[in-house]
Each structure stands twice: as C-alpha cells, then as structure tokens.
Amino acid sequence: MTVLPYDPGQLPTRPAPAAGEVLEIAVEGYPPYKDIRQSIRNRRTFGPVGLDLTIYAPQLAPGYTLVDYLGGVMDTLDGSSGYTFTFLPIVYEDDCQVVISNMRFVHSESVRYTLRVTFLVEELTI
C-alpha cells in the first residue's frame, strides 16, 4: 500500500503519536525564527496538531516577535523535500497541520524555551 506520493527513505518503526498524547521540548537559547522567504508547502497533510511555545528570557532578541519564533519552530518540526531528496518530518509532515497555538513570553534571567506539542483528533479542527 502506498501512503505518500514520494519515497521518504527508511521510515520509523515506532507508531505515530495518538490523539491526546503530548510531546514537551525544553531547550536552552532562543527558538528558531520564521524566514518568510523560504517556505513552499504541500497542501496535503495528515492530522491536526496544537503547539504551546513559552520563551523565557530577559527580553526577546531585537527585531523578533513571538510570532517569528513560532513560525521558525513550526518550520523546524515539519518535513521538507527538494528535487532529489526528502527529509523525514520531525513531528508532523507540514506546518499547516498546526491548527491551534499559544505563545507566551516569561521574563527570566536565563534564555530558554519550552514547546508542548499536542496531537489532536480530526473532529477538533475548524
């Protein structure tokens, strides 16, 4: 049975996250920011996802907003393909699967962020 319209290479053997499961990531430093000049996306994707991003820092890096960081995180966690290669998705196939998100800035002396990913059920999408 063919599921994807391309050869993604060797696929993971563990099952995909189920609706209701949560993945939380905590990382030192600022999250990636969205570069709006780089993204071309496939409209056919699987399963809705929710993201909760909290950035802890004395201040945001100059010139960037919470939305810039959320966009960068969204790009980082999805799949990508080029003319002769396919990178497997990290968390989801395409960032358009993110149907709900929350962003927070919390003043802190250390720079870090947490990301909570929730795999949603189809019926919850709008």
State pLDDT tens for residues 30-79: 988 765 544 444 445 778 899 999 999 999 999 999 999 999 999 888 87
- Predicted confidence at residue 82, as pLDDT, reads 63
- Predicted confidence at residue 83, as pLDDT, reads 63
Q: Is 3:44 a contact under the CB 8 Å cutoff? A: no
Distance CA 33, CA 68 (A): 5
Question: 90: Cβ–Cβ under 8 A, 6 or more apart, which residues?
Answer: 76, 77, 78, 79
- 13-21 mean pLDDT: 87
Asked whether the predicted pLDDT for residue 112 surpasses 70, the reply is yes
